[in-house]
Amino acid sequence: MKTVYNAGHAAHDAKHEFFRGRLVPAFETPQRAQYVLEALQRSGLGDIIAPRDHGLAALQRVHSAAYLRFLQGAWSEWLAQGGEGEAFPAVWPVRTLRSDVEPRNFTARLGLYSMDSGTPLTAGSWQAAYDGAQATLTAQALVAAGERSAYVLTRPPGHHAGADFFGGYCFVNNAAVAAQACIDQGARRVAILDVDYHHGNGTQAIFYARADVFFASLHGDPLTEYPFFLGHADEEGEGEGRGFNANFPLAAGSSNDAWFAALDAALARLRDYGPEMLIVSLGVDTYGGDPISHFALDEPEFARLGRELAALRRPTLFVQEGGYATEAIGRNVVAVLRGFEEGA
């Protein structure tokens, strides 16, 4: 299995984030990717290659033009208004306030295009996210050209980013960019399976009214777990997309047996759908030692996940999402990929 590695990820190097009302050291750091890279280099799983630049057009197929313009200029605007350190939003257009008019004030636009105060915007956020999308498109092209599978090693992650907002450490939705690229290249059915601890709200929202991309997610119950306001079991899609969205929320602390029962149910839906390509939003924050999540998977379970994904017998693209137990993330990712190779 080839890995496409976004070496530019370290441009996004946040030092702090807000967590439970306090400014704490950032959980989403360059060390996450470094540990995965080192584990891959030891694993012998396959070549690690650099991405090529596919341009901005594929991102514009998923994200609004105004949002992408904002991301590209945000850091310069932050500095121009006297900002110091990482940029965090301070105001949001909640119910009864208008979000259809873009304010001129940068502070207001920072809130307009964000969903939380826990996602620091840094000097290199845009470049790292852009490069991550290019790595994803490079890997997608490999699978579309006949590779059985490929893995994208990048950060920041992407699945919380919507068409016109960032949050949950995510700025560009890599899985959505890859799915849309498949459709634009002629695929009629693509599936995204999100196994991150946190629901991929951005991915769901992007494809919620569409039948050409099936989104399935198993995750912590949004009644108690981030992102809180999406990911319930009754969200099945709308319009043409009705029936093509499937959520499997699980209570914090759920057993591994419960997690794999949800996985089996999700895989059954994907088999019925019959996608031409499977995209896996690969979060390994389901690990029992993750500092901000509450499931209990470990290496044997991650290897089992890989084997069960391989049993679908579909061209498969893995895109890195969460996983914040830094020293364990490499071995957990490798376990999934090795399990997939063994199963294939």
SS3 at position 61: coil
| Pairing status of strand 16-19 against strand 22-25 | antiparallel
HEC letters along 152-220: EECCCCCCCCECCEEECCECCCHHHHHHHHHHHCCCCCEEEEECCCCCCHHHHHHHCCCCCEEEEEEEE
Residue type, 115: M
Residue 143 vs residues 104, 229, 322: alpha-carbon distances, Å:
42, 34, 22
- Encoded tokens for 85: 């350190």
Are 99 and 74 spatial neighbours (Cβ–Cβ below 8 Å)?
no
- Encoded tokens for 218: 């198993």
Give Cβ neighbours of residue 101 (< 8 Å, ≥ 6 apart).
none
Cα separation of 195 and 193, whole Å?
Answer: 6
Task: Return the biggest CA–CA distance within the chain.
Answer: 55
Q: Could you please report the per-residue DSSP string of 261-301? A: HHHHHHHHHHHHH--SEEEEEE--TTBTT-TT----B-HHH
Does residue 159 have an active-site annotation?
no
Residue of 54, 160, 198, 199 marked active site? 160
Return the closest-CA partner of residue 179 out of 272, 322, 280, 71.
280
Cα torsion through 7, 181, 329, 146, rounded to 10: -90
Could you give the residue numbers annotated as active site?
160
